[in-house]
Every structure is written in C-alpha cells, then in structure tokens.
C-alpha cells in the first residue's frame, strides 16, 4: 500500500492534483487541491490507497493528521471517501475532532454530506476512538494532541500546559491566541489535569474567539 508520495505537482484540478514521481504521474484526490499551489518542486502528499472492484484511487493530504482522521471517518457507516474528503475540506482536523468530542451536532451537520443521523453515528463511532489509548501515540505524532510526560501535571514551563501549548502552536495558533485562551481557562484548571484535557479546554476557548 502507498503511504506517501514525494514529487513535483504538475497539474492542479478542482478535485485532484497530479504529482510526478520519477516520470510517473499519479492522480491524487485531495480536500483542497489549491493548497498545493507553490509546492511543485518537492511536495510530500500523505496517501490513503483505496481499492474497490472497479477502481484504484489515491486520496492525498498535506499532513498526517488529515490522513489519520480521513481513515477514521471511513469507519463510520454512511461515510465513504468522497464524503470524508468533503468533511476535511470544510474544517481543520482538530476542529472536527473537538466537535465530535463535544457532541456538537449543530457543527457536524454543517459539514458537506452530513445529516443529523450521520452526525450522531460519527459521535457514537468515533468519540471514544479518536483520543483513545490506542490512538494516543499516532495522534500525538500527527500533532492533534500532545502526550503527557510522566509526573507532568502542573502548569508553566515543561508542564502539562506547556505541552498543550506547544501542540496547539504546531497547529497554527499564535502566541497571543494561546495566551488569551489560557487567561480565560486558568482559574478552572486543577493540578491533576492532563495534557489532553487542557487541549480540549483550550480548543473550546479558541473556537469561541
């Protein structure tokens, strides 16, 4: 199975890009092909290799977290590759994950191809899987959550909040946004809180603006 491709983007279409890997052009369907503008010299695309009776299709993503979430979405009854691609085109992985964790039906039903019943299935099927023990390492590596260090329960440098802050910064949030979120939530944070819980609280504040 293909895990990733690295090569030159030679064509961008409304639904896919074509990447030239050693003189072979691969058509890769992606949530937003125009994200690849300017990445034509040495683009890396993380691949989901989808095989069905009548076709072999490649779905590609700029990041591991998109690839991971795409594969999780395919586990939900009623969500195929096209719908999963549409979901990822509409929001960042951490936003979608937070909506599932918070059982935010209103947000999920605004995603392309998602009705109320499918949104409920997403919550039922994925809420305990996306941040479960079996996924902690892979999602941490993808940048969605940070794994807590042993004995790391406080706040400040080298502590749970610092790890959570670093993870959120890697997702593109600015220092000022993170400081504002921390100021709003710090009074409700207990010394026992984990990095995962801090991430969730911070994302709630960031979504509120």
Strands 16-21 and 4-12: antiparallel
When pLDDT is averaged across residues 103-122 and rounded to a whole number, the result is 91
What are the DSSP calls for 106-162, one per residue?
HHHTTSTT--HHHHHHHHHHHHHHHTSGGGHHHHHHHTSS-PPPTT--SSSTTSHHH
Q: Whole-prediction pTM value?
A: 0.62
Q: What pLDDT is attached to residue 23?
A: 92
Q: Give the count of domains, the chain.
A: 3
Picking from 94, 115, 138, the residue at the C-terminal end of a domain is 138
When pLDDT is averaged across residues 157-170 and rounded to a whole number, the result is 67
pLDDT at 160 over 80: no
Domain span at residue 161? 146-208
- The verdict on 132 and 163 lying in the same domain is no
When pLDDT is averaged across residues 162-185 and rounded to a whole number, the result is 78
Query: Which residues are registered as beta bridge partners of 61?
Result: 46
Of residues 174 and 153, the one with the higher pLDDT is: 174
When pLDDT is averaged across residues 190-205 and rounded to a whole number, the result is 78
Residues 6+ apart with CB under 8 A from 11: 17, 18, 25
- The verdict on 121 and 152 lying in the same domain is no
Picking from 102, 122, 138, the residue at the C-terminal end of a domain is 138
Of residues 162 and 71, the one with the higher pLDDT is: 71
When pLDDT is averaged across residues 37-43 and rounded to a whole number, the result is 75
Lowest mean pLDDT among 10-19, 87-96, 170-179: 170-179
pLDDT at 194 over 80: no
Strands 24-29 and 16-21: antiparallel
When pLDDT is averaged across residues 10-17 and rounded to a whole number, the result is 92
Picking from 138, 170, 186, the residue at the C-terminal end of a domain is 138
CATH code for position 86 = 1.10.150.20
pLDDT at 146 over 70: no
């Amino acid at each position: 199975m293909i895990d990733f491709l690295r090569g030159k983007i030679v064509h961008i279409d409304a639904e896919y890009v074509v990447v030239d890997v050693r003189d072979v052009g691969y058509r890769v369907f992606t949530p937003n092909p125009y994200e690849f503008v300017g990445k034509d010299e040495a683009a890396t695309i993380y691949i989901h290799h989808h095989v069905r009776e009548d076709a072999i299709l490649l779905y590609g993503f700029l990041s591991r977290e998109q690839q991971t979430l795409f594969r999780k979405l395919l586990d939900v009854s009623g969500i195929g590759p096209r719908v999963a691609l549409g979901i990822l085109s509409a929001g960042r992985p951490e936003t979608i994950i937070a909506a599932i964790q918070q059982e935010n039906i209103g947000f999920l039903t605004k995603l392309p191809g998602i009705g109320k019943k499918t949104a409920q299935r997403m919550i039922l099927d994925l809420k305990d899987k996306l941040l479960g023990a079996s996924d902690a390492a892979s999602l941490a590596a993808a940048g969605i959550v940070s794994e807590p260090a042993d004995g790391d329960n406080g706040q400040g440098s080298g502590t749970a909040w610092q790890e959570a802050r670093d993870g959120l910064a890697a997702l593109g949030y600015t220092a000022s946004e993170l400081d504002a979120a921390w100021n709003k939530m710090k009074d409700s944070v207990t010394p026992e809180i984990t990095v995962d819980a801090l991430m969730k609280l911070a994302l709630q504040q960031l979504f509120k603006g």
